[in-house]
Amino acid sequence: MPVLPGAEPYRHEGGDVGVLLCHGFTGSPGSLRPWGEYLAARGLTVSLPLLPGHGTRWQDMQVTGGEDWYAEVDRELRALSRRCERVFVFGLSMGGALTLRLAARHGDAVSGIVLVNPANRVHGVMAHALPVVRHLVPSKAGLANDIAKDGMDEVAYDRVPLHAAHALRRFLHVVDRDLPQVTQPVLLLRSPQDHVVPPADSARILGRISSTDVTEVLLEQSYHVATLDHDAERIFEESHAFIGRLAPGTGAGAARDRDKEGSSSGG
């Protein structure tokens, strides 16, 4: 099945700091492509994979689940770790859950994580009925393009496959169980006006992880897909500064220092 235009994976060979970007449920790399390109332009090595069952047609997701999606980002993390001295993982929505799972399982191999409107639960009246309903109804209306900014498209499915939604629900339980194993520095950016993931998800994540270096940023002008919204530039800048702070001797840290020197010298 051909990949939808704009849903293609993205990779860039840069310096010795790598960033793995994880997209969300029913979404695609299109939701994170500008973020990846921003980091690549600043000398970082970037990997933005297309998760199994995504980016083609919603029916293809019906035979995939959490372990398939996790296995893909796990492979990418291992490849980046062989290529780079330091690796960071960033994620949007379900991609945030994948990020947390990687952090919990890989420990020091992950230098820090950035979460944008991360998911912790499947919500809605149908959530508890999924084990039965998924056998009766194949899909329901999707939640794509929850974006305040006009003209933006995350290249996501317009239907939610219910077998995959059930798999997501089970996977999120596994991620939640292991949150205390997350110890890395965390930057969490969330939108108060999010019509897909409620603020309670971020609050639970922050309350259960063991990280002591935690920064929370509110994205007041954006909805769920904030990486394509009015606050996108802020996300990009905050995440790059986060890397520069934690990896000061690397290309990211050097770039940050050059930016500071340029601003202090006055143009």
d(CA 21, CA 3): 18
The region that residue 15 occupies, defined by phi over 0 for left and psi between -120 and 50 for alpha, beta otherwise, is beta
**3-state percent helix, strand, coil for the chain, nearest multiple of 5:** 45, 15, 40
| Active site (annotated) includes residue 93 | yes
Catalytic residue from among 28, 31, 47, 93: 93
Known active-site residue 201: no
Catalytic, 111? Answer: no
Contacts of 178 by beta carbon, 8 Å cutoff, 6+ apart: 100, 101, 104, 105
> Exposed, middle or buried by CB within 10 Å (0-12, 13-18, 19+), for 149?
middle
Instruction: Quote the CA–CA distance of 94 and 96 in Å, as a whole number.
Output: 5
Burial group, residue 249, by CB count within 10 angstroms (0-12, 13-18, 19+): exposed
Q: Which of 163, 166, 224, 240 is catalytic?
A: 224
- Alpha-carbon distance values, 257 to 38, 45, 241 (Å): 17, 19, 10
Amino acid letter for position 107: G
Is residue 94 a known part of a binding site?
Answer: yes
Active site positions, annotated: 93, 194, 224
List residues forming the annotated binding site for substrate. Answer: 25, 94
List residues forming the annotated binding site. Answer: 25, 94
